[in-house]
A = this chain, B = another copy of it.
Amino acid sequence: MTPGPTNVSTEVMQAMLHPIINHRGPAFAAAMDSLLIKAKNTFQTKGDVVVLTSSGTGAVEASITNLLRDGDSVLVTAFGEFGERLADQIQDVGATAIRVESEYGNTPTLDNVREAFEQNEELKALYVVSNETSTGASIKWLKEAGDLASKAGAFFVVDAISNFGGDWMPVDEYKIDICCAGSQKCLASPPGVSMLSISEKAKQFIVNNPPKRHYLNLPRYFKYAEKNETPFTPALPLYFALDRSLEIILDEGLDRVIERHAICANAFYSGLSEMGLKMFAKTEVRSNTVIAINYPEGVNDKEFRAKLDADYGVILAGGFGRYLGKLFRIGSMGVVGRYHVIATLTAIGMTLKKMGFEANVDGALSLSSSILSKLSRSA
């Protein structure tokens, strides 16, 4: 139950056993066509989708190195580890990253972004981390930010690695020019491939201003996409797995998948609060996919997580950087339903009790169960 890589179903794992085929032949082109149709339906876009053989970091880097140049100014939301990384990456191509900040555990407001647009001219883009894996806080005003960026003539780029497929993200409707997603988070596929949705406007810019990069060179991907190929040898087994996982998501229904994520997150937050725990992120900005919890006084991080694993087989993540040892994080993503929530809550509560924290486990489980009853029977 870490915030990625998440659990992968046997069905998706076995999709990797598809025979290795020639990536320059008709069988691959057919497979790629099928994968891209599903990917576009998941992004809810009429634009392009590019699948990279890389982790999510590669996709985010591609969104920067293909769009930004020396001298550009961009706004970037910074309210956690991944926002800071994003700002650093932007600076490294010679662009100026103007941070729209908030304290960790919160997010900047839409007003903060509006003011930043008013105070800065000729902004090339607005970069937003939609869900901070390090703090469990997420942006609730993506649609409105798309309107602001569009009015200012700026590109709108969303790093949605840890909540794409878990939160509503219709990229065309939200005017998102580039949206970055990873395979191993809410999409419940093995790690190693990532996706970018790219609007027609962003595509035109990128094609007319090709970057001096090779592996993450989007114009090449566009060129090869015309014949349903990739410019470099793709990670075939992971493409087949991603195809299967997107098929499963679209079969369940994207809206129902997202509702399932929201219900599970709500069950986690309610149960954990009932136990007497305090969440790291403010209530209004709580993530639907990453739950960050402050450790109660006296509970040691390493000891707690080792016991959880040893006694219950539940693996959670610790805190990042300055929050190492101060909080723990649950990935409530992908293959997640009543079984996972209840098992995880039980393990957390019982372990805290063993470590001397008087958690109200019964109350937590009964509250969470009633919330989880809103899930469809199969989830």
A248 at interface (Cβ–Cβ under 8 A)?
no
A215 within 8 A of B: yes
Smallest Cβ distance from A177 to chain B, in angstroms?
Answer: 20
B7 touches A233 (CB 8 A): no
Specify which of B13, B233, B317 is in contact with A24 (CB 8 Å cutoff).
B317
Least CB distance from A350 to B in Å reads: 21
Q: Which A81-121 residues have a C-beta within 8 angstroms of B?
A: 85, 89, 92-93
A221 to chain B, nearest CB (A): 12
Complex Cα gap A22–B309 (Å):
12
**Alpha-carbon separation in the docked complex, A212 to B68 (Å):** 14
* CB-based contact A192/B190 at 8 Å: no
A184 CA / B21 CA spacing, docked (Å): 11
Contacts of A54 in B (CB 8 A): 53-54, 58, 215
Q: Which residues on the B side are within 8 Å of A232 (C-beta)?
A: 55-58
Asked whether B192 lies within 8 Å of A53 as measured between CB atoms, the reply is yes
User: CB-CB contacts of A228-270 with B at 8 A, as 1s and 0s?
Assistant: 0000111111100100000000000000000000000000000
Task: Assess whether A214 is in contact with B55, with CB atoms less than 8 Å apart.
Answer: no
Contact B22 A235 (CB under 8 A): no
Contact present for B315 and A215 (CB under 8 Å): no
Copies in the complex: 2
Secondary structure dominating the interface of A: loop
Q: Are B57 and A235 in touch, CB under 8 angstroms? A: no
Which residue in chain B gives the minimum CB-CB distance to A241?
Answer: B237
Contact B55 A192 (CB under 8 A): no
Contacts of A165 in B (CB 8 A): none
Across the interface, name the chain B residue whose C-beta is closest to A18.
Answer: B13
Q: Is the CB of B20 within 8 A of A17?
A: no
Q: Once the chains bind, are B5 and A184 in contact (CB under 8 Å)?
A: no
Contacting A233 at CB < 8 Å: which of B22, B191, B234?
B191
Complex Cα gap A141–B21 (Å)? 34
How many chain A residues sit at the interface, stated as a range, is 35 or more
Decide yes or no whether A146 CB sits under 8 A from chain B. no
A235 touches which of B2, B13, B190, B215 (Cβ 8 Å): B190
B61-A214 in contact (CB<8A): yes
**Which of B56, B216, B233 is the one whose CB lies under 8 Å from A184?**
B233
Contacts of A233 in B (CB 8 A): 4-5, 55-57, 182, 184, 191-192
Please tell me if A23 contacts chain B, counting CB pairs below 8 Å: yes
B6, B13, B61, B237: the one contacting A192 at CB < 8 Å is B237
B55 touches A89 (CB 8 A): no
A298 in contact (CB, < 8 A): no
CA distance A361 to B231 in the complex (A): 37
Contact B235 A191 (CB under 8 A): yes
A379 part of interface (Cβ distance < 8 Å): no
Chain B residues with Cβ below 8 Å from A216 are: 215
Tell me, yes or no, whether A34 is within 8 Å of chain B by CB.
no
A8 touches B20 (CB 8 A): yes
- Contact of A5 with B23 in the complex, beta carbons under 8 Å: yes
A263 to chain B, nearest CB (A): 24
Interface residues of A in 52-66 (CB under 8 A from B): 53-58, 61
9 example contacts (A-B, Cβ-Cβ < 8 A) are as follows A5-B22, A16-B237, A25-B315, A53-B235, A54-B58, A58-B215, A192-B233, A192-B235, A192-B238
Closest 3 CB pairs of A and B: A192-B235, A55-B232, A92-B212
Q: Contacts A191-B235, A192-B193, A215-B216 given; 8 further ones with Cβ under 8 A?
A: A5-B236, A22-B315, A53-B192, A55-B215, A57-B215, A191-B236, A237-B238, A237-B241
